[in-house]
Amino acid sequence: MAKKTTTTPGKLSVYLYIPNIIGYIRIIMNCIAFAQCFSNKWLFSILYFFSFVCDGVDGWCARKFNQDRISTACLLVILSQVYRPGLVFLSLLALDISSHWLQMYSTFLLGKASHKDVKDSSNWLFKAYYGNRMFMAYCCVACEVLYIMLFLIAENQTENLMDVLMTSARQSPVLSFVLALSLFGWAIKQAVNIIQMKTAADMCVLYDINKKQKP
């Protein structure tokens, strides 16, 4: 009986993994988008949202073909320059980065296969978010749609965030509905980020305590 042979992929083939190719396209689109962000808002918004969609596609490809993926770009820094107080958006950025970093680190410490493995969590919202792909997709898309809308409706670079939101909501029932739907998903995602950061930090602390207690 012939033995099964396994081949190790070469360096070039890894660079040409489907998720990585999509990642390269995302980087190019983001570079073009951010270069045009203040001269052509609609072009920026289209390229940015398409890049976000590609982020989901390359994640699917990574799972489908067992290949790693390249991530992501963010609109929050630009919004922090457009709106006052800009610290709101920088704080959201810091929350997102810190919560995901802690979640990845705690996953590594506990030896889990994925940072999305939260079956042992006691928080129902946290488990619902990572346990239901449609629910998580809604929250992520809602965030991106909200940020893109905020960028599009800003008329200058010294906007007051609450004034713009209230004025836009009064202008059109459709716009008001989309804003409300986006804000709801956005709020859930921020709540999950806070829960994730606290849960992951607690896991890291417990890991250190248990490690010190071992002889």
Read off the tokens for 206.
């417990």
Catalytic entry in 55, 58, 68, 202? 68
Length in residues, the chain: 215
The verdict on whether 58 is a catalytic residue reads no
Question: Which residues make beta-bridge pairs with 83?
Answer: 159
Q: Could you report how far apart the first and last alpha carbons of the chain are, in Å?
A: 50
Alpha-carbon distance of 118 to 104, in angstroms, equals 12
**Longest CA pairwise span in the chain (Å):** 75
Mapping DSSP onto H, E and C, the string for 109-178 reads HHCCCCCCCCCCCCCHHHHHHHHCHHHHHHHHHHHHHHHHHHHHHCCCCCEEHHHHHHHHHHHCHHHHHH
Active site positions, annotated: 68
